[in-house]
Structure 1
Amino acid sequence: MNFFGYFMIWLAVTGRTAKPHVWQMCLYICIGANSQTFSNTGALITCVKNFPESRGIVIGLLKGFVGLSGAIITQLYRAFYGDDSKSLILFIGWLPAAVSCIFLRTVRLMKAVRQETELKIFYKILYVSLSLASFLMILIILQNRLHFPRAAYVGSASFVMILFFSQLAVIIEEEFNVWKSKRQELNNPIQLKIVSELPNPPPVEDTEIEPRPTRGDQEKHEKPPVSWWSNPFKPPERGEDYNILQAIFSIDMIILFTVTTFGVGGTLTAIDNLGQIGKSLGYPSKSITTFVSLISIWNYLGKVASGFASEIFLEKYKFPRPLMLSLVLLLSCTGHLLIAFGVPNSLYLSSVIIGFCFGAQWPLIFAIISELFGLKYYSTLYTLGGGASPLGAYILNVRITGYLYDKEAKKQMAVEGTR
């Protein structure tokens, strides 16, 4: 899907095919863009089920790398193709498809057995990712301020990939330690001392042995499998496995979907219009380019911070994730207010706050869904929760912000016409 969608766009843009109709281009974009939800859902759901005790951390890490992906792909594109903008479409087409094919077999469900070193490994991966994010942040600032030749882009992209794949060293080391400990257990079996007689054997009582139940008796006592549509208005207790309709019609999902629609939609609207906001407030073009480019870094930091912090606060202080989500939304309001009141030089801080809060909401929302409704239908419910983002962007960004922009533009054009 990814390769077909973007490859067809590239063929049309470069003139290798006849000029497509608008609906055809929309179809290509739809196919290419929606392919990402397949890989994201498959990887995230699998990891949450493999590490259910560390779901907040896992979601934070995976979503954090989604936030960094734009900055990483930008570095690779400049190293491969320079400033050829048409080749960017082809690059976005073949790279994710190739990565998916290569690593397809690594995404699989495993027996959920928590290792003693599980948290330690996650923290090591966090430290590597923080180093990568810090390097990317410095790189973006320098590239927006200085002129980088092609060789410099190749060198910086090579170092980015070294940092990125250094996480594999952490995993390989842990797998080697597990293999070594299992081998030691096989080579040094525990010596058991067998005692033939007990000094004071207990008296044997005559007990009536119950007959072993047959397979037919077991099937009578087994509960029939619950379908995804049965009893939609009779949900189980919170934390148990809801079916799809029980989750959709529950008051918890309605509240969470509403919060996601306007919380994520509000921060996404601010991010989408950040360049126009900076221009209208009189910021230099280089400054606007810098803080727009750094949104992916703040997005990453928000995701990993909320993922790790929510897991720690929940385990140590019983601090619930919904309350932390409320605090994140409250923090995002300060960024919106700084923009609304036009405080001098405040757009730098507000872009950091809004980017951070936009990222911090996702691990909390997805972890809350898994804790409220269980993991049986988590992939469907996870996708349902993510669907609130485009709905919020449409309501706030298109219908409200777009309408207000057009209204204000008509006023300004009328004033300039009278002059």
Structure 2
Amino acid sequence: MGPFFSLSGAGKWLGLVAAIWVQAICGNNYTFANYSDALKSLMSLTQLQLNNLSVAKDVGKAFGVVAGFASDCLPTSVLLIIGSVEGFIGYGAQWLVVSRRIHPLPYWQMCVFLCMGGNSTTWMNTAVLVTCMRNFPKNRGPVSGILKGYVGLSTAIFTDICTALFSSDPSTFLFILAVVPAIVCLTATFFLHEIPTPTSNPSELRQETLYFHVFNGIAIILAVYLLAFDITGNHGRVLSLAFAVGLLVLLATPLSVPLYSFISKPLSDSDIERPMKVSLKFGTPRPLWNAASQVLMAIGYIAMALALPGSLYIGSILVGICYGVRLTITVPVASELFGLKYYGLLYNILILNLPLGSFLFSGLLAGYLYDVQATVVDGGGNTCVGAQCYCLVFVIMALTCVVGLGLDVLLAVRTRNVYVRIHESKRAIAVSATDCSSAKY
């Protein structure tokens, strides 16, 4: 009997479900806008000062290198515990301020707590990605896509739950950010572990692919469900409660895969013969997809700069999709080029671009240009309304995407031989499966 019929086989799928839940609460770094106005008002901040608070949050990711080093010597459970405790303290302190249970802290102290909150997710992400990539070494792309997809959905999950149950109250939102990730991570420590997996044969690889299709389908349904709630306007109390219950059911649905994998048997080689031939037809270098995303992202920024009716929504959708593509593609590319031995450290080195980009484009560029256009308001702070506030910022971001396009194309050309070898290796597996199937008949 293959590993899919064994406890270890079901165990790694249960670990993937736990990883999905962790990623579904790891998007707290992207929710700053949900409570930033409250911080700006309470602390009488300018937009530049507020943006620098956001930068402090992203700077926390720069210390993710520590999590990368730790992933090579500490078990997954310890990484998750560290992340949950750090997030509880970081977001808990912000909750105390926004809920006015304590007086606003000095600016530098708020920067420290925001940095802690930002760094907490690096421990969670490192634990999840390193473990799952090693548990599914032959399906790094699908694993990365599923996990990063749930990170993208996590902001909507937090926001919609808070909107449905607590009327978007900023203090309640911060309380959720402090408590829920801690509970989920502590729960995941019991299920998410690195499970040594023997070399998979073609039938088992095909079985994995089918299960990943199920996970992708669930994620798409969840995304549509969240979108439907967002675009249908205000909801009554009963409908909001029903939405929350439905959301929890959808988040629990991935549990069906480990249950099914425990009682199912692997596909036979004859079952996989035709699909394997089709799925290995192309061997496009992954960085080329990043290059394509740069084109669409530039179009998205230009759309937002034009400030035409509806262009903000169109631009935001394009930029969001492309950002998700880049996150999904970059993770397996790093493992394919450098291997999995020091993957935790490598991953956290890669995401150093986030605090650097946040500092340059948000902290300096966007904050400065916003303050130039803004007017001072009574009681401190400033405000700006209209397309002129961020128009130049969007244009500069579009030009940056053009530069990124050139770099991605260059990387695709330089790594072409690597992906040719990967493609040939997969083709050899497919041919082997076909020969074995033919020999049986």
- Bin of the TM-score, shorter chain as denominator length: 0.5 to 0.7
1:325 maps to which of 267, 270, 290: 290
Match of 1:8 in 2: 93
2:402 maps to 1:402: no
Identity %: 33
2:183 maps to 1:98: yes
Cα pair 1:335 1:349 within 8 Å, conserved: yes
Cα pair 2:218 2:254 within 8 Å, conserved: yes
* Structure-2 change in CA distance of 1:48 and 1:14 (3 Å): same
Match of 2:250 in 1: 163
Q: How far did residue 19 of structure 1 move? A: 4.3
Provide the rounded CA distance (Å) in 2 between the counterparts of 1:365 and 1:60: 10
Match of 1:60 in 2: 145
2:227 maps to which of 131, 137, 150: 137
Q: Map 1:75-154; keep pairs closer than 5 Å.
A: 75-113=160-198, 114=200, 115=204, 116-142=206-232, 145=233, 147-154=234-241
1:157-211 superposed Cα distances (whole Å, 9 cap, x missing partner): 1001111111101221112225xx8xxxxxxxxxxxxxxxxxxxxxxxxxxxxxx
Which blocks of at least 5 consecutive residues in structure 2 are unaligned? Answer: 1-85, 267-276, 376-382, 384-441
Q: Map 1:2-401; keep pairs closer than 5 Å.
A: 2-113=87-198, 114=200, 115=204, 116-142=206-232, 145=233, 147-177=234-264, 315-342=280-307, 345-401=310-366
Provide the rounded CA distance (Å) in 1 between the counterparts of 2:111 and 2:326: 29
Cα pair 2:160 2:230 within 8 Å, conserved: no
Provide the rounded CA distance (Å) in 1 between the counterparts of 2:110 and 2:285: 45
* Structure-2 change in CA distance of 1:403 and 1:89 (3 Å): closer
Cα pair 2:98 2:170 within 8 Å, conserved: no
Provide the rounded CA distance (Å) in 2 between the counterparts of 1:320 and 1:405: 39
Match of 2:20 in 1: none
Cα pair 1:5 1:32 within 8 Å, conserved: yes
Cα pair 1:41 1:379 within 8 Å, conserved: yes
Q: How far did residue 61 of structure 1 move? A: 0.4
SS at match of 2:264: helix
Cα pair 1:332 1:354 within 8 Å, conserved: yes
1:229-248 superposed Cα distances (whole Å, 9 cap, x missing partner): xxxxxxxxxxxxxxxxxxxx
SS at match of 1:106: coil
Number of aligned residue pairs: 277
Q: Whose relative contact order is higher, 1 or 2, with alpha carbons under 8 Å and at least 6 apart?
A: 2
* Structure-2 change in CA distance of 1:125 and 1:10 (3 Å): same
1:81-117 superposed Cα distances (whole Å, 9 cap, x missing partner): 3444322211111110001111112221112343241
* Structure-2 change in CA distance of 1:349 and 1:83 (3 Å): closer
Letter in 2 for 1:158: V
Letter in 2 for 1:112: T
Provide the rounded CA distance (Å) in 1 between the counterparts of 2:306 and 2:165: 43
Structure 2 length-normalised TM: 0.58
Provide the rounded CA distance (Å) in 2 between the counterparts of 1:84 and 1:66: 22
1:336-393 superposed Cα distances (whole Å, 9 cap, x missing partner): 2333445554333222211111111111112111111111111111011111022112
RMSD: 2.6
Q: How far did residue 80 of structure 1 move? A: 4.5
* Structure-2 change in CA distance of 1:317 and 1:407 (3 Å): same
1:119-170 superposed Cα distances (whole Å, 9 cap, x missing partner): 000001111111111111111101xx2x322222111010011111111012
* Structure-2 change in CA distance of 1:10 and 1:134 (3 Å): same
Cα pair 2:141 2:328 within 8 Å, conserved: yes
Letter in 1 for 2:188: F
Provide the rounded CA distance (Å) in 1 between the counterparts of 2:163 and 2:308: 36
Structure showing the higher helix proportion among its residues: 2
Which blocks of at least 5 consecutive residues in structure 1 are unaligned? Answer: 182-311, 414-419
Structure 1 length-normalised TM: 0.61
Provide the rounded CA distance (Å) in 1 between the counterparts of 2:284 and 2:317: 25
Cα pair 2:222 2:247 within 8 Å, conserved: yes
Deviates more, 1:323-332 or 1:49-58: 323-332
Cα pair 2:222 2:250 within 8 Å, conserved: yes
Provide the rounded CA distance (Å) in 1 between the counterparts of 2:90 and 2:362: 25
Q: How far did residue 409 of structure 1 move? A: 4.8
Match of 1:286 in 2: none
Provide the rounded CA distance (Å) in 1 between the counterparts of 2:327 and 2:255: 25
Q: How far did residue 11 of structure 1 move? A: 2.5
Provide the rounded CA distance (Å) in 1 between the counterparts of 2:230 and 2:118: 25
Cα pair 1:369 1:381 within 8 Å, conserved: yes
Letter in 2 for 1:175: F
* Structure-2 change in CA distance of 1:47 and 1:94 (3 Å): same
Cα pair 1:313 1:319 within 8 Å, conserved: no
